[in-house]
Chain A
Amino acid sequence: MKLLVPVKRVIDANVKARVKADGSGVELANVKMAINPFDEIAVEEAIRLKEAGKAEEIVVVSIGPAQAAETLRTALAMGADRAILVKVDELVEPLGVAKVLKGVVEVERPRLVILGKQAIDDDSNQTGQMLAGLLGWAQGTFASKVEVAADRARVTREVDGGLQTVDLKLPAIITVDLRLNQPRYASLPNIMKAKKKPLDEKVPADFGADVKAKLKVIKTEEPSSRKTGVKVGSVAELVDKLKNEAGVL
């Protein structure tokens, strides 16, 4: 079975994002970038399926600028087998991404596409669902547990107030949630191996996909700056503050 895992290059989760001076978006110059944490979980899940003998090949794909190759190398160093970079310099909206992915799916013919449930930069939470729609495939979103048998996948989903289990007929789409697994660190042996793994470069046109933006960003704002906290030295001080400053006691 072949698995396809799309990964996105996003601002590192440990970096404090700043809005560009003109409000057109988030400042990315000189900012540490990383693989989207949810996508990392997706890669990990794919590797585990392969290690368990449920899959033979893991293909990772990223749609983004040339530097997204770094993100793909990270996935390869974790244990993916092959990478495809679909080069686009502009920001691509979820629908555009889904269209490119549909093209990739038609060429690669995976049985399962595992995606992060959302990217931490735009928080859209749409790509997986749109891809399922475009392909007409079954989908199991927000997975906290994935079991794969010959032509079926059983996905436990995190829903409000509990868990729901769905049974999907393959081929299918799975989007993963935070608690699915703890992704591994790329080890040196795997980093060395990643060097030799193939990374193909493509453009959206290769897949006949239109990635033109349909939305216009009017403005980007930082969250209204929360009053910085203070470290209290003791319980007594905390109680005092709650009483006299916050007035909640």
Chain B
Amino acid sequence: MNFDLSEEQRLLKDSVERLMLDSYSFGDRRKYQTEKRGFSEAMWARYAELGLLALPFAEEHGGFGGGAVETMIVMEAFGKALILEPYFATVVLAGGLLRLGASEAQKAELIPLIAEGRTKLAFAYAEPQSRYDLVDVETRAKRDGDGWILNGSKDLVLHGDAADKIIVSARTAGDTRENDGVGLFLVDADAPGLTRRGYPTQDGLRAADITLERVRVETANVIGDPAGAFPVISRVADEAVAALCAEAVGSFTQMQAITLDYLKTREQFGKKIGSFQVLQHRAVDMFVDLEQSRSMAIYAAIMAVESDASERERAVSAAKVQIGRSAKAIGQQSIQLHGGIGMTMEHSVGHYFKHVTMLDTLFGDAEHHLRRLAALGGLSGDQRME
């Protein structure tokens, strides 16, 4: 057993954390938010420079072969700073689909573009009716000579309005919610027939709803098997959940620190409010939630690359349950302990609260994952456990 970071992982962590410390204060974030696309292009360039945009890709494609633990390190630092840039959408989601599903030619073309920060991607998976179900795909792709024609609507596409290219899940065969028959199609954001409506999300990031009307996709831009992409999607979703768990842990860490600091400075009744025992216990509860979440985020990162689907899904769901519940517990408590000031846009703690609330709703909230875990027999139903 070893929970220590390797030398390279430690250096990576140091670098990202320092970059955040130097360039991503709450005030910086506010500034970045007012930029044209709702995030900082300059920071995006810094991520490229540091190699973060190439992190998870194989070395032969210009990447660094980073695994889930490396992604965890980066996402945790990002969660601490509450970053606005489309790292999750481009590198974790779309990057994951390319990594696990794309042909050599596609990887050779696209990964360097991502790594250098020249191309941003998004993954359009959700639909108006799909809720948390990734296989609930009604968008249709029909054969058209040597290409495909896409029709349908996609919802809540994270950073869909800033993306240069969008990977769309669409059904080439089968009925809605059948595992077989789902394909992945790489579409230019300005392709004829594609319209996007961008909007802010509740935590101040960006998303878009996308309509596809007779959008043509060449065969070369189909990622993987046009009728068999679902296993790739679900693997990427599990990796994504692990990444979100790490991001949440970063935010939790910061919320706990900010709140603790407030307990030590705010005075009422002539005392530091941290001297009231009832608040001390709350602070301890927050700390317990934080450490339990950290453990589960590590568990998710390690298990996210497990090839046995059932084992992987159980672990990832278990982690998301913990994270979703802690998002509520830590989020609500950190507002409560701040009193009125915690409710304002001026103070950072409310922004963290909103962000972790949204992290809970991404790729399935705690309830959804509890159900999935229970349906898979829970965690202790594993026969292979020694």
Binding site for B on A (CB under 8 A): 14, 34, 70, 73-74, 77, 185-189, 191-192, 194-195, 228-231
Contact = CB atoms under 8 A, between A and B. Distances in A.
A91 B283 CA distance: 37
12 contacts: A34-B14, A73-B11, A74-B11, A185-B15, A185-B50, A186-B15, A187-B15, A188-B54, A191-B12, A192-B8, A194-B8, A231-B265
Nearest to B272: A228
A91 to B, nearest CB: 24
A192 B12 CA distance: 10
A77 B11 contact: yes
Interface string B1-15: 000000110111011
A186 B14 contact: yes
B50 A229 contact: no
Closest 10 CB pairs of A and B: A188-B51, A185-B15, A191-B11, A187-B50, A186-B15, A77-B11, A188-B64, A187-B51, A186-B11, A191-B8
A70 B10 contact: yes
Contact of B12 (A70, A188, A229, A231): A188
Interface of B: 7-8, 10-12, 14-15, 18-19, 21, 49-52, 54-55, 64, 66, 264-265, 267, 272
A195 B50 contact: no
A160 to B, nearest CB: 29
Contact of B52 (A188, A192, A229, A231): A188
Contacts of B14: 34, 74, 186
Contact of B7 (A34, A73, A188): A73
Contacts of B19: 185
Contacts of B18: 185
B258 to A, nearest CB: 12
A231 B339 CA distance: 14
Contacts of B51: 187-189, 191
A195 B7 contact: yes
Contacts of A192: 8, 64
Given A73-B7, A74-B11, A195-B7, A187 B49 contact: yes
A9 to B, nearest CB: 13
Contacts of B267: 230
B333 to A, nearest CB: 20
Nearest to B66: A188
Contact of A188 (B21, B55, B272): B55
Contacts of A187: 15, 49-51
A161 to B, nearest CB: 29
Nearest to B52: A188
A194 B10 CA distance: 12
A230 to B, nearest CB: 7
